[in-house]
A and B are shown apart, each in its own frame.
Chain A
Amino acid sequence: MSKFKKKKGGEIPAVNTAALPDIVFMLLFFFMVATVMRQNTLKIENNLPFADQVEKLDKKDLVMYIYAGKPSQNYKQFGTEARIQLNDDFASVKDIASFIAQERASKREELIPFLTTALKVDSDANMGLIGDIKQELRKVNALKINYTTKKGSVFGRD
């Protein structure tokens, strides 16, 4: 009788893989969200110089970034002279003090002495601007600085 028909074959049923895409998509979204491409949108040219006696700048949360360089193609109206960029906008030398104060306020108090200022300056900028930045940093007692560079020989590419 058909009611008691034997089940066909003794094969193990295939594993249901319908949920696999979901898992993979989850991973994908995680990486897409967690990946930080760049902290700031640069409005300046930022072609760092080369150096080979470098030290790594770890502990990213303890670094304040100051960018400088001449305005990039899209911001030509700001001239061709090297400018400072803090966070997402152009700034002048006077703004550095308040920027440092603001960065310090956002950190825990015990970490403040370990804060480093990373100067990401375009290789074509002139030292007058850097001198002004350094003077300003000395005024607010932010003495630890780092000239961010690319790794490579100083004699190599021009």
Chain B
Amino acid sequence: MAKRAAPEVNAGSMADIAFLLLIFFLVTTTIEVDSGINRKLPPMEESEEDVIIKQKNIFTVLLNGKDQLLVEDEIMELKDLRAAAKEFLDNGGDGSCDYCKGKRSPGSSDNPDKAIISLKNERETSYKTYIAVQNELVAAYNELRDARAQALYGKPFTEMQANYKDVNWPGNKEKLKEKIDQIKIDYPQKLSEVQ
């Protein structure tokens, strides 16, 4: 008897299976970009000269071990922190800051350049609350800078920064950098942490 050749396996649908797998991996793969709050630590310096800062130019934020907030010696809810910080920074007590929209009360900060926010936490403070407070303080700065940039250049500050980082942005980057720096001079971020 003649040997019968084994029938060939139909491999036509192999491509479909492979495609299916390929598409599954393509869809489920997420290339994550981390994001977070950038900070700069103060350098270690042994010879510390005592700089005299007026008490009214310091905005003290205290976070205790039970995650309670004490702002300028008053208990405060987290949701009010942003407004309080903005009010303090934008006060413009000595009149040298012509763009400040604050109350110009003599009891609060002189101008945004002198205003310092001091954040102190205890060892038992939870990280979550700490980040929330940091976030609110950064938000206060960002909102003031946004308003300033809107008044000067008709664009919010955060958008300018995003443009600056965007490789495909068509405009003049050097000019944009100048503008960004100007805003940063107008509202410098002075956030100090007490160890």
Contact = CB atoms under 8 A, between A and B. Distances in A.
B29 A148 contact: no
B38 interface: yes
B78 A53 contact: no
Contacts of B142: 53
B22 A28 contact: yes
Contact of B36 (A54, A123, A131): A54
B153 interface: no
B39 interface: yes
A21 B15 contact: yes
A57 B195 contact: no
A130 interface: yes
A interface secondary structure, majority:
mixed
A87 interface: no
Q: For chain A, which range describes its interface: under 10, 10 to 19, 20 to 34, or 35 or more residues?
A: 35 or more
Nearest to A31: B25
B97 to A, nearest CB: 23
B36 A126 contact: no
A146 B127 contact: no
Interface string A115-144: 010101111111110110011011101111
Contacts of A154: 78, 131-132, 135-136
Contacts of B79: 155
B37 A51 contact: yes
A24 B127 contact: no
A127 to B, nearest CB: 4
- Most chain B CB inside 10 Å of its own CB: which residue of A28, A57, A145, A146: A28
B18 interface: yes
B123 A141 contact: no
Chain B interface residue count: which class?
Answer: 35 or more
Interface in A72-93: none
A118 B38 CA distance: 9
Contacts of B42: 138, 143
Contacts of A53: 37, 135, 138-139, 142
Contacts of B165: 56, 58
Given A127-B122, A146-B39, A148-B34, A51 B11 contact: no
A17 B11 CA distance: 10
A53 to B, nearest CB: 4
B132 A143 contact: no
B182 to A, nearest CB: 20
Interface of B: 11-12, 14-15, 18-19, 21-22, 25-26, 29, 33-44, 63, 78-79, 121-128, 130-132, 134-136, 138-139, 142, 165, 195
8 contacts: A51-B134, A53-B37, A53-B142, A54-B36, A125-B127, A127-B130, A145-B40, A155-B78
9 residue pairs, one from A and one from B, having the closest CB atoms: A128-B123, A123-B128, A154-B132, A24-B18, A148-B36, A51-B135, A21-B14, A127-B125, A54-B35
Given A51-B132, A124-B126, 15 more contacts: A17-B12, A28-B22, A49-B131, A53-B37, A56-B33, A56-B34, A116-B38, A126-B123, A126-B127, A130-B127, A141-B44, A143-B41, A147-B39, A148-B35, A154-B136
